[in-house]
Structure 1
């Protein structure tokens, strides 16, 4: 049966505009930090001189360490996030591969399961990506709803979102490190010195969720995407793990404010119903499902984890 495919080449977003915005934000933070430092005895000349040196140092550190961190992100997540990696012949992994192929991705992502009621994607690029789905979702959602969530996370991979968010955090850390903030004070230092960048990153985080929802809806149908959103938002409160990594999650902080990592359920549902982003997804003509490198055996319903209900 023919299925809708997405033109990946027209979909992928460049990291360059985000990088330029982060460079400007870091310069603003340095200038702001020099003004805050002057009244407390550092002296405006010394503070300004320190800021001037940081105009090159902070973007350089942010870029280099950001790319290094992104390169290690997938392996670090597997070690630290309680993820169980699935084998290639696992039925859920096979569904991820099929949806990835329909999205135009040339490399199969790693696929893992975690104990949290959420999902996320991580990795430096499409060639080193990891898609993680929470076991509670697999146990409680329909197959189509799980596929919609998988499509959403694959959308983050195709849109280069992981690289953009990873660089954003690296730039902010580089600035607070450069200005001498300890690890304990980094969180508050980011808000004190990089509030402009923080608001920029939060806005980026919210907007990318709309695009990922639209990609998941294109691959599976917007009614399944909406149903998955509604069921997740009716679920338990975010765990400490989900709060810590809220920007990565399918469901995060959705307060309807500038400080939210995600749009509210109402906003995400309305965007799908109005097809605000959905109609802008570059869709190719319907094609037969792409063949994988190895034949995929059709499993019985009782062998599929998310069919055991």
Structure 2
């Protein structure tokens, strides 16, 4: 990687996420079958009863997850009324420069929306788009805006959109499959829907911490905290923002049903560098040797050598 911020340790593999989702769906299918097997029925019978789901759920979840992601950017352009900036726009160039520092080889598309928020969408790092609210551009300092941009680029660099899209699609596929049985539909669907929803929301909250760390690494933790604080004290989320809360840098943040940690939790994580320390690129010996030597240090070295 050629950038000056190291995201390799937090770059999540969408393949490993997919494997985890497949295994999780199988566990859910087996659990549902065991729960409603007749008394005395063996484990093998329960496993056999879910056999069709072992194939159908992963296929359905994978197909619709990837299909939905591939059309997400075009759907946003068509339905949300956002304005895509040209390649030579200063803001596009600015996003591209920050992306290069993360080692992204393709500059994301950049778009503007009227809401006081920001998000990133796209199926892959090579087809992503960063959407910034015009109110953010008008009110944040340059460093704070860079922190917000860095946060969104963090989602891109760590494959967050693909992983979240697959997680949601697998959840829908599993619930859909159990819908064929009236009994399973009544109980298993309800239980699995809420269990999987809590897991997805926890995953969403955790990825916000990592994205905050990337934004702070590109600027400073003070700039990231300041930007988040300004977002926190803005007016309540619009219906549009609430509908797309899982994509936004500032979303629903009040409880375990939230897509985002609250401001105090994010601030505390940044201050303690709980996630930031994994993103900062360590200073190598060559950089230390190349740093300018101050006059007081020269004098001190001369004094030590004279002793």
Distance in 1 (alpha carbons) for counterparts of 2:59 and 2:32: 18
Distance in 1 (alpha carbons) for counterparts of 2:107 and 2:80: 21
Distance in 1 (alpha carbons) for counterparts of 2:166 and 2:189: 14
Distance in 2 (alpha carbons) for counterparts of 1:11 and 1:31: 32
Q: Which runs of 5+ in 1 are unaligned?
A: 40-45, 287-309
* TM-score, structure 2 as length reference: 0.80
Residue 72 (structure 1) aligns with:
71
What does 1:30-69 align with in structure 2 at a 5 Å threshold?
A: 30-31=29-30, 33-34=32-33, 51-69=50-68
Q: Tell whether 2:145 aligns with 1:142.
A: no
Q: SS state of the match for residue 217, structure 2?
A: helix
Q: SS state of the match for residue 132, structure 1?
A: strand
More off after superposition, 24-33 vs 129-138: 24-33
Residue 259 (structure 2) aligns with:
261
Partners of 2:245 and 2:259 within 8 A in 1: yes
Residue 131 (structure 1) aligns with:
130
Q: Tell whether 2:238 aligns with 1:239.
A: yes
Residue 273 (structure 2) aligns with:
275
Residue 225 (structure 1) aligns with:
224
Distance in 1 (alpha carbons) for counterparts of 2:249 and 2:189: 24
Q: SS state of the match for residue 112, structure 2?
A: strand
* TM-score, structure 1 as length reference: 0.80
Please tell me whether Structure 1 or Structure 2 has the larger radius of gyration of its CA atoms.
2
Residue 21 (structure 1) aligns with:
20
Partners of 1:88 and 1:94 within 8 A in 2: yes
Q: Which protein has greater RCO, CA pairs closer than 8 Å, 6+ apart?
A: 1
- Equivalenced residue count is 272
| Per-residue deviation, 1:54 | 0.8
Q: SS state of the match for residue 145, structure 1?
A: helix
Q: SS state of the match for residue 111, structure 1?
A: strand
Deviations 1:164-220 (A, max 9, x none): 001011111212333348xxxx9x997543333222211111111111001000101
